[in-house]
Amino acid sequence: MDFQEIINRIYNEVKPMTVYGKIADYIPALQQVSSGHLGISIQTLDKKSYCKGDCNIPFSIQSISKVFGLTLAYSKLGSKLWDRMGKEPSGTSFNSLVQLEHEQGIPRNPFINAGALVVSDIILSHCNDPYSELIDFVREVCNDPNVNYNDSVAASEKETGDRNYALAYFMKSYGNIKNPVEDVLSFYFKQCSIEMDCRNLARSFLYLVNHGTNPFIGKNILNASQTKRISALMITSGMYNEAGDFAYRVGLPGKSGVGGGIVAFIPQKLSIAVWSPALNMSGNSLAGIEVLERFTSYTGDSVF
C-alpha cells in the first residue's frame, strides 16, 4: 500500500477545511498559533516514515500527554491504579465537576482531566524525580532526546487553570489526591506543555502498536494485557465526549489534545499523527478527524 500517495491525496482534500473551527484561545499561549496548519505523519512498525505538510513543526500536545502519564503510572502501580479511577466513558465535558461530585471524587476514566490529575498524583508518589522521569520516557519512546516541556505554555495553563484546581481540591476532600494540590497541578500543567511534531508523536505511540515494547530499543514498557487495556480506553474515552463518533467514523484507538493534535494507531501495523490547530465543538481537531476518517476509509484498515 502506498501510504505516501494516500496521505498526499488526503492532505489536498482536507487542507481547505483548516479555515473552519476555533483555536483553543482559553489557554493564552495557544492563541498565537495559526489555524492554517496541517501536518500528517505515519510511522510503521518496521520503522518506515511517511509525512506530508507541517509535520516538522513542534506543537503543544496537551491531553495526548495523558497517555504517557497513564503508561508511567500503570507501569509503577499495576492494576491497583483502578482503585482510584474508573474505566468508563464520561459522556460529559472533559473538565466536568458535576460528574465528579455525583461519583464522590472517583474520576470516570484516566483521560478526563480529573482522571489525569489522579494519575499525576500517583506519579508524584512513585517517582523520585517525576519531571525528569516523564520527559525521559517520552524522549525514549519517540527516539528523540530533544523533546522537552514548554515552560511558557505550562505557565499560561497555570494562570487559567482554575477549573483544574477545583477538580483537584474536590478529589482531595474525598482522599483521592494524596500530594499537595499545588504540586499535582504544577506537574499536570508541565506534562500538558510537552511539545512534539507529528513525526515524533507518531513514533512515540509505536510501543502501543507493538504490544507494549519500544521497537527502537526492544524495551518492555507494558505487558500485552496492559497495552490492550490502554488501547481499549483510548477507543472508549480518548476523544473527550466525541469518542463514540470517532470510533464510528475512524475505527482506531486515538487520543486528542486541544493543541490540535490527534494520534491513532493500528496494532502491529502503524501509528498516525495529525496536527491541525482549529477545533470542533468537542475540542478535537476538526481537520484532524477528517484526515483520520479518510485514512481508514481509503486504506480499508481499522481495528474493526
98 flagged as catalytic: no
Can you give the pLDDT of all 304 residues of the chain as single tens digits? 899 999 999 999 999 999 999 999 888 888 889 999 999 999 999 989 999 999 999 999 999 999 999 999 999 999 999 999 999 998 777 888 888 888 899 999 999 999 999 999 999 999 999 999 999 999 999 999 999 999 999 999 999 899 999 999 999 999 999 999 999 999 999 999 999 999 999 999 999 999 999 999 999 999 999 999 999 999 999 998 899 999 999 999 999 999 999 999 999 999 999 999 999 999 999 999 999 999 999 999 999 9
CATH of the domain at 173: 3.40.710.10
In-domain check, residue 61: yes
In-domain check, residue 101: yes
Q: Among the options 50, 74, 149, 188, which is catalytic?
A: 188
Task: Specify the 3-state DSSP secondary structure of 294.
Answer: helix
In-domain check, residue 70: yes
In-domain check, residue 304: no
Q: Among the options 35, 41, 63, 271, which is catalytic?
A: 63
In-domain check, residue 163: yes
Total tally of structural domains belonging to the chain: 1
In-domain check, residue 284: yes
Whether the Cβ atoms of residue 76 and residue 123 lie closer than 8 Å to each other: yes
169 flagged as catalytic: no
Residue 270: phi and psi, rounded to 5, are: -160, 165
Q: Residue 278 belongs to what H/E stretch?
A: none
Whether the Cβ atoms of residue 277 and residue 59 lie closer than 8 Å to each other: yes
96 flagged as catalytic: no
Residue 43: phi and psi, rounded to 5, are: -125, 120
240 flagged as catalytic: yes
Q: Containing domain of residue 84, as a range?
A: 3-298
228 flagged as catalytic: no
Residue 53: phi and psi, rounded to 5, are: 80, -140
User: What is the model's pTM?
Assistant: 0.97
In-domain check, residue 303: no
DSSP E strands in the chain: the ranges are 39-44, 49-53, 59-60, 195-196, 213-214, 219-220, 254-256, 261-266, 270-275
Cell triple for residue 140? 525514549
Task: Specify the 3-state DSSP secondary structure of 256.
Answer: strand
